[in-house]
Every structure is written in structure tokens, then in C-alpha cells.
Chains A and B, each alone.
Chain A
Amino acid sequence: MRGDELLDLARSPLVLLLITLGGYQAGRWLQRRTGGHALAQPVLPAIAAAGIAITVLDVDYADYRSATELIAFWLGPATVALAIPLHRQADRLKGFVVPLLVAIVAGAVTSIVTAVLIARALGADEQLEKTLSAKAATTPVAIALTQSLGGIPPLAAVFAISIGIVSAITAPAVLNLLRIRDRRARGLAVGAVSHGIGASRMLREDETEGAFAGLAMGLSALAISLLVPVLALVLF
């Protein structure tokens, strides 16, 4: 029964890992080809390829998840490594520490509360509200927070990535409309509400904006992690 054997092989961790890595490589190729367009995030072709593959091959998501544990494992150490860009940019802070910290905390509270309340006003259930609450944090943190809160981690990942892409495309124009002209504040605002994907756009606009967006991403991840459990007591 060669057909059955081939199908078993196609559903093996080996092939599922190959499809995931292949999709990611295709995404990186697309990103290079488009000169780093904000829509061309390597994660999207990778999720699409793996999502289509497990649907066609009729693989349970739980089985796919354990087959690719080898990849997902590195999310933790990579999150720890976010301290590195923070450390590199810490010297740019002189004379801006107070506005920065206050703005980050205010932004974290606003992001969490408005996301939950808007969803609630439009009839979302509690699980969905929880899943939306951490969407401004960098994706690995949004996933982890949603998990400990009792939301839906895969959706949290998609929400965080989506808002990152929206921000990467529109943020500079929106900041102009909002009359925010200080490059440090511009970078800060984008990093605080749309993490690394937003930050990568600001880095292409201007080095200072990019550095502050990266810094804001790290600090906001921290602020949102600390504030989500506290605000959850009030909101849910």
C-alpha cells in the first residue's frame, strides 16, 4: 500500500516541519522581492502553507502543534532575547525617561481597556475580549498572556500580527494627522501599539524613530504583562 505509506510520511513531523520552514523561507523570499513591504511578513505565507497543508492532509491541529514543538520551543528564549535591543537603546533615553515611562504606561492601560470595551459594546463574549486584550504586545508575549488569562492563543497571535501590519502601513500618515512631530514620540507611539512589525516600518523611516519603536515594544510588552492581570480583575 504505497499510497498509505506516502500519506503517513506526509503527516509525519519531518514533513510538517519541512512545510513550515519552507513556507517561512518562501515568505522571506517574498519580503526581499518586494523590498521589505509591510504586507510581506514572512509569518503569513508560513501560516498559510502550514494551515492549508494540515487541512488537506487532514492532520489535527494538536498533532501539528506537537510535531512542530521543535520550532515553537524557541519562542521563549527569543522573548528573553528581546532584552538585547532594549539594552542597546537604553543610552538614547537621556532627558526623555519621564515622558517615555508615563506614555508607555498610559498607552498600555488605554490599549487593554479600549480593546476589551469596544469588543464588549459590539457583543463579543468574554473569551474573545480576553484574547483581544493583549494584542498591542509583541506576539510571543500576547500568546503567553492570552494563555494565562484563558483566551485563545492562536487568535491572539493573529490579532497581534494583523494590527502590526495595519500599523506598519498607515502609522506614519496617522501620526502626521495627529500632529505628533517629535521623532522620539513617533517611534514610541508605534512601538507601544504595534510592537516589532510596526517598529520595523519606523526603522525604515528614520533611525531614531526605529530605535524608540523598538524600545517601546520591549517596555510595552513588560507594562502590558504586568497590567493585563491587574486590569483583568476589574474588567472581567
Chain B
Amino acid sequence: MIAGLTWLLAFQVLGEVIVRLLDITVPGPVVGMLLLFVFLRVRRYGDDGSIVRAGSALLRHLQLFFVPAGVGIVVYLGMLRDHALPIAASLLGSWLIGLAVVGWTAVGLERLLGKPHDDLPGPAGEEAP
């Protein structure tokens, strides 16, 4: 467990160093994630390794770790109320448009490349049960 956590912290530090050296606004942990992904791929890292065990343990409780950030909502309740319409419309509208764009782009390109899938039961064009 400690060995795995050490590796995860090392990759995070590496990410923070790169972000500072390149002076970019990408969060350090995200760069760390990318580096760790490359590392796991190159090493063909197995499921029983210390990084996977420590990392999976952390990921099981990912939601706990953003509770302190989320509690900050109490400071902004007034702002949420005052801007309820733009917030709700932006969240829902952007979500729906994003969902359609990702889904249709993937399906459209598959069709172009000649490898379409139709995984749902029932003839195409009907509502799936």
C-alpha cells in the first residue's frame, strides 16, 4: 500500500514539475495521470502490482476526497439562487449537446470506416426497451 502511494505521489510531483516548467494551466495531477498511464502501458503493469492496489483503494473513495471542496457551496448559496436560470440552462443544455455530439460523431465515423455496430435489441429506429 505504502509502496503504491509513494509511486502515485511521485507521479503527481512529476506532473507538478512539468506544469511549472512549461507554465501551462493544466492541473499537475492530470499530467501525472497521463505519465502514469504511459508508464503502466509500457511496463504492461499487472493487476496485482502495488500501484494498482493503492490506486484502486483511493479511487473507491474518490467522492470522499472532494467533500471539503464541495462544502464551500455554503458560501455561494446566494449566488446559486441569484443565477439559477443561467446555471441550470448552461449545465443541462451543454450536457445534452455534448452527449449528442460525442455519440453521433463516434457512430458516424464508425459508419464511414465501415464498422458500424448495432447492439440494442429490436429493429433500428425503434425505441429500445
Q: Do A and B come from one complex?
A: yes
Query: Which A residues have a C-beta under 8 Å from some C-beta of B?
Result: 20-21, 23-24, 27, 41-43, 46-47, 50-51, 54-55, 61, 64-65, 68-69, 71-72, 74-88, 90, 95-96, 98-100, 102-104, 106-107, 110-111, 114-116, 118-119, 122-124, 128, 132, 135-136, 139-141, 143-145, 147-149, 152-155, 157-159, 161-163, 166-167, 171, 174-176, 178-186, 188-190, 192-194, 196, 208, 216, 218, 221-222, 225-226, 228-229, 232
Q: Chain A's nearest CB lies how many Å from the CB of B34?
A: 6
Provide the main secondary structure of the chain A interface: helix
Determine whether the beta carbon of B75 is less than 8 Å from that of A144. no
Per a CB cutoff under 8 Å, which of B29, B51, B90, B99 touches A124?
B90
Determine whether the beta carbon of B90 is less than 8 Å from that of A43. no
- A sample of 11 inter-chain contacts (CB < 8 A) reads A43-B70, A81-B55, A83-B37, A87-B45, A114-B94, A118-B93, A119-B89, A124-B86, A128-B87, A181-B120, A183-B117
Q: Which partner residue on chain B sits nearest A194 by CB separation?
A: B95
Q: Which 4 A-B pairs have the closest CB atoms?
A: A154-B72, A81-B55, A144-B27, A107-B102
Determine whether the beta carbon of A110 is less than 8 Å from that of B68. no
Residues of A within 8 A of B36 (CB): 80-81, 83-84
Determine whether the beta carbon of B30 is less than 8 Å from that of A79. yes
Residues of A within 8 A of B127 (CB): 176
Asked whether B64 is an interface residue with its Cβ less than 8 Å from the other chain, the reply is: yes
Per a CB cutoff under 8 Å, which of B32, B87, B94, B99 touches A171?
B99
Total number of residue pairs linking A and B with CB closer than 8 Å:
346
Residues B42-68 near A (CB distance < 8 A): 45, 47, 51-52, 54-56, 58-59, 61-68
Residues of B within 8 A of A166 (CB): 91-92, 95
Determine whether the beta carbon of B102 is less than 8 Å from that of A193. yes
Determine whether the beta carbon of A78 is less than 8 Å from that of B67. no
Determine whether the beta carbon of A157 is less than 8 Å from that of B66. yes
Determine whether the beta carbon of B90 is less than 8 Å from that of A80. no
Determine whether the beta carbon of A68 is less than 8 Å from that of B67. yes
Residues of B within 8 A of A196 (CB): 62
Determine whether the beta carbon of B91 is less than 8 Å from that of A115. yes
